[in-house]
Amino acid sequence: MTDDFQRPVLTPPDGQKKVLLHSCCAPCSGEVMEAMTASGIDYTIFFYNPNIHPKEEYLLRKEENIRFAEKHDVPFVDADYDTTNWFKRAKGMEWEPERGARCTMCFDMRFERTALYAHENGFPVITSSLGISRWKNMTQINDCGERAAAHYPGIAYWTFNWRKGGGAARMIDISKREHFYQQEYCGCVYSLRDTNAHRVSQGREEIRIGELYYGDAQ
Residues annotated within a binding site for [4Fe-4S] cluster: 24-25, 103, 106
| x-marked contacts with ligand SF4 along 113-152 as a string, rule CB under 6 A | ----------------------------------------
Q: How many residues bind ligand SF4 (CB under 6 A)?
A: 10
Instruction: Give, rounded to a whole angstrom, the gap between the first and last alpha carbons of the chain.
Output: 20
Kindly tell me which of 41 and 126 has the beta carbon lying closer to ligand SF4.
Answer: 126
Residue 106 · residue 188 · CB < 8 Å: yes
**What residue spans of the chain are helical by DSSP H?**
26-38, 55-72, 83-90, 101-121, 138-149, 167-178, 189-201
Which neighbouring-strand residues pair with 91?
none
The binder of ligand SF4 chosen from 35, 103, 149, 155 (CB under 6 A): 103
Stretch touching ligand SF4 by CB under 6 A, among 8-16, 39-47, 100-108, 119-127: 100-108
Q: How far apart (Å, rounded) are the C-alpha atoms in residues 200 and 152? A: 45
Q: Does 155 bind ligand SF4 (CB under 6 A)?
A: no
For 8, how many CA atoms within 13 A lie in the half-sphere containing its CB? 9
Pairing of strands 18-22, 156-157: unpaired
Least gap, CB of 188 to ligand SF4 (angstroms): 3
The binder of ligand SF4 chosen from 50, 124, 145, 187 (CB under 6 A): 187
The binder of ligand SF4 chosen from 89, 98, 146, 193 (CB under 6 A): 98
Q: Does 61 bind ligand SF4 (CB under 6 A)?
A: no
Report the alpha-carbon angle 165-171-175, nearest 5: 160
- Which residues sit at the interface with ligand SF4, rule CB under 6 A? 51, 98, 102-103, 106, 186-188, 190-191
